[in-house]
Chains A and B, each alone.
Chain A
């Protein structure tokens, strides 16, 4: 049953990196602002719609227009993030966590409403760019180039965030703010500005993920719920707010999902939830949940 383990491993990596792409912005915003953004899936969906529309307009079907559309989708959701930070997140700074939940859930509904208003209820389907529709076969493993592309994109986003947070002066400042914003203000740091930047980056990452992952998905307002459950799973398992933890959890839960579906083909995905429940029971703070950002 597990004889095709190399394929399962490849699938695990694909699942993991796609999920990490969605989870990155979610865990980043939680790690720095301590706001759990329920609207993240909605922003992801808007990014997918924007990228899909741009790709259709450009009509070339090439890799460059696919990438460009995804980056423009990231830019668009980043601007949405700027507006949301001003209109919503700043007001949440001084209130109880329950309001944060309600407010970001309301934002999710707004995202859904916007998608229905602009793009209607039709289901669209997007194809990957032509150059990624080929496959490479290595031994028994069939590797679609689009899956390889998603794996590369997930790795790039992870390495980029690791570099930003651990190798730059700005990253050390961001980590200082995440650990103790009160002291950071006394040290002259404009904490509000960094919070705004974080929200913009987190939203842009959601939009980028939407653009990169829209291919092979049926695009409808329901897309908001598809990856986000998995993304919340890896954020929880990785340790809320930890980028490195989310990355490791993406790989781990990717393995669980891939091998689980092979072992229990009648119940695909069930082991993901079993693993999630087990981690919450045994290590509720998550793999790397020591309050560290990266």
Chain B
């Protein structure tokens, strides 16, 4: 479904990603773990052409997309939920959801706010609330819900658990795992929170200083406890 690499990415003169190779299969959940500044967000943004200057192949459903502008990539079924959520404050939650209809490929009907609320019941009471009046957890829920409006094929979540209370993190992980299974959705999620990532993915990559240092399933990761100390512990 998604085949990346070898991909290099730059911010100005600084070389952030080095020959990154990564793939996500249809319906698969994949985590990308690493410390702050390891290059996780840069990679997701590079996949959408939304930030860093990137060189190297990116193929989505067998089709090269690295030359397409961001909105065209979104319309192919790539939906990125950014780390800072970026809910629009000037309109309601329902209108935030409606704005994402533009990412629908031609002929696909967007999920209505009611359908999104059916996927995430916690959103139902928030639909008429102003986008500027949400807690951090609510913002994240709205951001993920908005990401699902155009019925994406691949959902990219950038550190969804960051800054959320532990109970909310558990809820969110459970909801995302459930929606993923119910909708046969592919998922690529970046995290520092191992438990969150484990709850909603099948396998993982570790990234450190812009280089992929491990790739495998969770059993392989658990068999090598030094990975956590080397690449994730602060």
Residues of A in contact with B (beta carbons under 8 Å apart): 169, 172-173, 175-176, 179-180, 182-192, 292
The answer to whether A176 and B91 have CB atoms under 8 Å apart is yes
Residue interface mask B96-129, A partner, CB < 8 A = 1: 0011111110000000000000000000000000
How close is A289's CB to chain B, nearest CB, in angstroms?
Answer: 15
Q: A292's contact among B51, B75, B90, by CB below 8 Å, is which?
A: B90
Whether B150 is near chain A, meaning CB under 8 Å from some CB there, is: yes
A176 contact set on B, CB distance < 8 A: 88, 90-91, 99
The answer to whether B74 and A185 have CB atoms under 8 Å apart is yes
The answer to whether B50 and A182 have CB atoms under 8 Å apart is yes
Whether B37 is near chain A, meaning CB under 8 Å from some CB there, is: no
B82 contact set on A, CB distance < 8 A: 183, 186
Q: B102's contact among A188, A192, A292, by CB below 8 Å, is which?
A: A188
Residue of A nearest to B100 (CB): A187
The answer to whether A187 and B91 have CB atoms under 8 Å apart is no
Do A190 and B71 form a contact, CB below 8 Å, given A176-B99, A180-B86, A183-B82? yes
How close is A15's CB to chain B, nearest CB, in angstroms?
Answer: 31
Residue of A nearest to B88 (CB): A176
B50 contact set on A, CB distance < 8 A: 182, 185-186
The answer to whether A183 and B104 have CB atoms under 8 Å apart is no
The answer to whether A185 and B88 have CB atoms under 8 Å apart is no
The answer to whether A186 and B90 have CB atoms under 8 Å apart is no
Bound-state CA distance A292–B88 (Å) is 12
The answer to whether A186 and B80 have CB atoms under 8 Å apart is yes
B56 contact set on A, CB distance < 8 A: none
B150 contact set on A, CB distance < 8 A: 188
Whether B146 is near chain A, meaning CB under 8 Å from some CB there, is: yes
Main secondary structure of the interface of A (DSSP, over half): helix
The answer to whether B103 and A172 have CB atoms under 8 Å apart is no
Q: Which of B50, B71, B82 has the most CB of A within 10 A?
A: B71
Q: B146's contact among A173, A187, A189, by CB below 8 Å, is which?
A: A187
A-B contact pairs, 12 of them (CB 8 A): A172-B90, A172-B95, A175-B91, A183-B82, A185-B71, A186-B48, A186-B79, A186-B80, A187-B146, A188-B75, A189-B71, A192-B69
Whether B89 is near chain A, meaning CB under 8 Å from some CB there, is: yes
The answer to whether B99 and A189 have CB atoms under 8 Å apart is yes
The answer to whether A180 and B74 have CB atoms under 8 Å apart is no
The answer to whether B95 and A187 have CB atoms under 8 Å apart is no
Whether B70 is near chain A, meaning CB under 8 Å from some CB there, is: yes
Residue of A nearest to B143 (CB): A183
Bound-state CA distance A179–B146 (Å) is 17
Residue of B nearest to A183 (CB): B86
Interface size class of B (residues with CB under 8 A): 20 to 34
Residue of A nearest to B103 (CB): A188
Residue of B nearest to A190 (CB): B71
Residue of A nearest to B81 (CB): A186
B90 contact set on A, CB distance < 8 A: 172, 175-176, 179, 292
Extra inter-chain contacts (6) besides given A186-B48, A187-B99, CB under 8 Å = A172-B90, A182-B86, A188-B104, A188-B150, A189-B102, A191-B71
The answer to whether B89 and A188 have CB atoms under 8 Å apart is no
How close is A161's CB to chain B, nearest CB, in angstroms?
Answer: 16
Bound-state CA distance A30–B79 (Å) is 29
How close is A120's CB to chain B, nearest CB, in angstroms?
Answer: 45
The answer to whether B74 and A186 have CB atoms under 8 Å apart is yes
Bound-state CA distance A147–B190 (Å) is 62
Q: Which of B80, B86, B98, B146 has the most CB of A within 10 A?
A: B86
A292 contact set on B, CB distance < 8 A: 90
CB neighbors of A among B57-71 (8 A): 69-71
Do A172 and B91 form a contact, CB below 8 Å, given A183-B82, A183-B86? yes
B71 contact set on A, CB distance < 8 A: 185, 187-191
Do A179 and B89 form a contact, CB below 8 Å, given A172-B95, A187-B146? yes
B74 contact set on A, CB distance < 8 A: 185-188
Bound-state CA distance A190–B103 (Å) is 10
Bound-state CA distance A186–B87 (Å) is 12
B89 contact set on A, CB distance < 8 A: 179
Bound-state CA distance A188–B70 (Å) is 7
Bound-state CA distance A190–B69 (Å) is 9
How close is A193's CB to chain B, nearest CB, in angstroms?
Answer: 9
Bound-state CA distance A290–B48 (Å) is 30
Bound-state CA distance A176–B146 (Å) is 14
Enumerate the 9 nearest inter-chain pairs by beta-carbon distance, A residue then B residue, closest first: A188-B103, A188-B102, A185-B70, A188-B74, A183-B86, A189-B102, A187-B100, A188-B75, A185-B71
Residue of B nearest to A193 (CB): B71
Q: Which of B74, B102, B103, B150 has the most CB of A within 10 A?
A: B102
Bound-state CA distance A244–B23 (Å) is 49
Do A173 and B99 form a contact, CB below 8 Å, given A179-B90, A186-B74, A189-B71? yes
Q: Which of A169, A179, A182, A186 has the most CB of B within 10 A?
A: A186
